């Protein structure tokens, strides 16, 4: 089995590489990433443990040669920071939506069997206090969340032929990764508590935010790759 992970050098991708390899020891794990933050982790040799091959490039430039003979694609690559997304909304749409749809169509043409799309529960907006179902009303409030639901909606119009498409609406990521992000809410709390012995809450404390550990995200992705 050959598995391509886009955005594999990010926070989630670093955790996913090894878990994928552990669950599919014979699989060839291939990464495609811009490598923007690679220099930050160059001194940590295990940051990409489990990876067999790495391509560097903008997701908008990925070609058929990168997905040749690939069985499954895990599409993580995205502009995932809301302030950046809101400041550069057009570019965010090009990367998160346009490039995603292009990649999905390429995957169908290449005969990819499984395509896993990292969506977001942020499409529900403020959401209220109740747990959400896929059929519940959505209220995307940011460029990031709009790009995710636009991709989901556009996929419904594409003839996927025999390709199995899975969209996972993840909560806010947290937990340890070899390419750690400390700007995410729970990780920020832990970092502040450890370094300053103080947690600074950036609101009145009433907002409720769903969280998911990156290892649980990875296990969900493994399930999506293997489901029939």
Q: Tell me: the pLDDT tens digits for 81-102?
A: 878 888 889 999 999 999 999 9
Q: Tell me: the pLDDT tens digits for 191-218?
A: 888 888 888 787 777 777 788 899 999 9
Report the pLDDT value the prediction gives residue 48, as an integer from 0 to 100.
67
Cα separation values, 105 from 59, 84, 155, 160, Å: 14, 27, 9, 8
Span 164-189, mean pLDDT? Answer: 86
Look-up: residue for tokens 């989630």? Answer: 12
Q: Tell me: the pLDDT tens digits for 3-61?
A: 999 999 888 998 898 899 888 889 999 999 998 877 666 555 555 667 889 999 999 99
How does strand 72-75 pair with strand 2-6? parallel
């Amino acid at each position: 089995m050959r598995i391509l992970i886009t955005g594999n050098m990010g926070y989630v991708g670093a955790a996913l590489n090894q878990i994928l390899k552990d669950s599919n020891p014979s699989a060839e794990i291939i990464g495609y990433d811009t490598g923007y933050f690679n220099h930050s982790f160059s001194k940590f040799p295990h940051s990409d443990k489990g990876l067999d091959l790495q391509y560097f490039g903008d997701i908008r430039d990925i070609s058929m040669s990168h997905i040749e003979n690939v069985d499954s694609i895990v599409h993580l690559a995205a502009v995932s920071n809301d302030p950046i997304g809101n400041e550069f909304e057009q570019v965010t749409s090009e990367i998160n939506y346009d490039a995603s749809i292009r990649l999905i169509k390429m995957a169908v043409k290449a005969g990819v069997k499984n395509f896993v799309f990292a969506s977001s529960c942020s499409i529900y907006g403020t959401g209220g206090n109740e747990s959400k179902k896929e059929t519940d009303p959505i209220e995307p409030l940011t460029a990031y969340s709009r790009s995710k639901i636009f991709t989901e909606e556009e996929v419904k119009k594409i003839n996927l032929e025999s390709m199995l498409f899975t969209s996972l609406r993840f909560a806010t990521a947290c937990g340890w990764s070899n390419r750690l992000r400390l700007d995410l809410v729970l990780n920020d709390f832990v970092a502040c508590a450890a370094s300053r012995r103080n947690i600074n809450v950036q609101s009145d404390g009433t907002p409720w935010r769903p969280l998911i550990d990156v290892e649980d995200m990875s296990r969900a992705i493994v399930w999506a790759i293997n489901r029939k």
